[in-house]
Structure 1
């Protein structure tokens, strides 16, 4: 039975770990981090929209992670939750993510990607370039090896950038009109809209341009390594925990028996005894005949009656004994474990005490 439990636990941990390390889950974690940061903005001054999907020309769609609308402008945020090294400049069509010599992944320049988002919002609101600010937010631990391009910032700097805009770009009327226009143009948020957006993106870019194959290879390679390491780690932790549990259980049982019977516990080392002191040789003492009078012959004391250890257990203690494992456990009326010797516990469990 224990092996079945081990297999189930290890399998569940492996599946959960694989899902948490998938690109989709990492992306959602990054977006959630940005959402929590934007929630600190004053709602009376900033209006925040998340996961905005807008239709574009040719029956396609574009999906924007976050849009912040205020008198200081419309901030279009693209979230990237990346690790490793990132190589790329503002004018490059593709950026490269590297985890070492053999693990590389190329992806679309998020600054260019966000430029398309800005154009879609301009079409929806009718506002010009001066009203918009494009920002790429990095939420992971990635390090730029070619310098951080303009418009890319870490999540920790986002609030400072939003609150430090020096001039007002929109009136209150324009802010309200922009919010209403975006809400009217966006597709209803939900799984169905997300699925349609993925399908239109695949049709537009195609699945055979090398990006999907490279990303899949990188993902499955990392997935296999992750699962293998997690399986080994979880198996070792469970084995150590099970061994420790068995050891503690044995020590507890031995100690309880020693407390009740007065014998040293089996798990404790026997106390060392000093060697006997040699008795010096002496001259023989002549034997004397002891007096035979009744006054000088003490009567032997009666031997103490043996004590039945079962009588020490309170009557309201309940015990259970397993013949398969030869283990026994007792509980007091409050539900706490009652320490009892094995024979004492068995006697109570079998109704002999």
Structure 2
């Protein structure tokens, strides 16, 4: 075996070891309880969305498995924003922010906050998922063709949550997804619009977004660092 071939093999082994080392360091970081709960809620919502959209659209839709990272503010301290679920349908693009909260959810003191009342009766003010979605929806509306509607919803995943009737209609429970999507489809079709080209819309999103796991991990690390700071 030539020296050059040996060098290549050793280089490859070193490269794989470095990659595995970085992966091991990443895996050693334990998930917090909030992260584990959030992941569980997102899995429930994704499964229900897939069921609902198959019912409404057959196979003419795209629901991305996992988060989508928008490059919504290049050159700033926080250039990216994470979408929990992005669905592209013949009747529009939909951005879903998922919360796996337990308890009764009521309006907060303003449109940016909600109050969660725990089973114990404790009240806690939290940021509304509609507030978290607002910039993402606005960005997609600004870069997508005007004939493709972009809408945002906040979805509460847990069966142990209940919603006040005073909340905005775009804050819904997981089991309300079928009705909400059915209404969106009916309203779009009633206006006589042509169906959205699902494949073209997804490619348009990818022009301003990222689905690479490493990039998403870097975004999340940046968010955690800001929260700690």
Q: Indicate whether the TM-score tops 0.5.
A: yes
Match of 1:137 among 149, 155, 162: 155
Cα distance, 1:150–1:89 mapped onto 2, change above 3 Å: farther
Give the match for residue 49 of structure 2: 38
- 1:181 and 2:204 aligned: yes
Describe the shift of the 1:90–1:77 C-alpha distance in structure 2 as closer, same or farther (beyond 3 A): farther
User: In structure 2, what is the equivalent of residue 51 of structure 1?
Assistant: 67
- Give the alignment's Cα RMSD to 1 decimal: 3.1
Distance 1:161 1:146 in 2: 15
User: Number of paired residues?
Assistant: 187
Evaluate the alpha carbon distance shift between residue 131 and residue 23 of structure 1 in structure 2; reply closer, same or farther with a 3 A threshold. same
Q: Is the 8 A contact 2:45 2:174 kept in 1?
A: yes
TM-score by structure 1 length? 0.46
For residues 67-107 of structure 1, give each alpha carbon's deviation from its aligned partner in whole angstroms, at most 9, with x where no partner exists.
Answer: 11122111111111110232325942222323267855432
SS of equivalent to 1:82: coil
3-state SS, counterpart of residue 148 of structure 1: coil
Which of 56, 65, 68 is matched with 2:84 structurally?
A: 65
Confirm whether residue 24 of structure 1 aligns to residue 35 of structure 2. yes
Q: Which has the higher contact order (CA 8 A, sep 6+)?
A: 2
Contact 1:60 1:200 in 2 (8 A): no
Three-state SS of the structure 1 residue aligned to 2:84 is: strand
Conserved in 1, the CA contact under 8 Å of 2:112 and 2:127?
A: yes
- Which segment is superposed worse, 138-147 or 154-163? 138-147
1: CA distance, partners of 2:196 / 2:132 = 29
Report the TM-score, using the length of structure 2 for normalisation: 0.68
Corresponding residue number in structure 1 for 2:179: 160
Alpha carbons 1:51, 1:189 under 8 Å: kept: no
Q: Is the 8 A contact 1:90 1:111 kept in 2?
A: no
- Specify every segment of 5 or more residues in structure 1 that has no aligned partner in the other structure, as ranges: 1-18, 209-353
* Counterpart in the other structure of 2:5: none
Equivalent residues of 1:85, 1:144 under 8 A apart: yes
1:200 is aligned to 222
What is the CA–CA distance in structure 2 between the aligned matches of 1:43 and 1:53, rounded to whole Å? 26
Q: Which runs of 5+ in 2 are unaligned?
A: 1-29
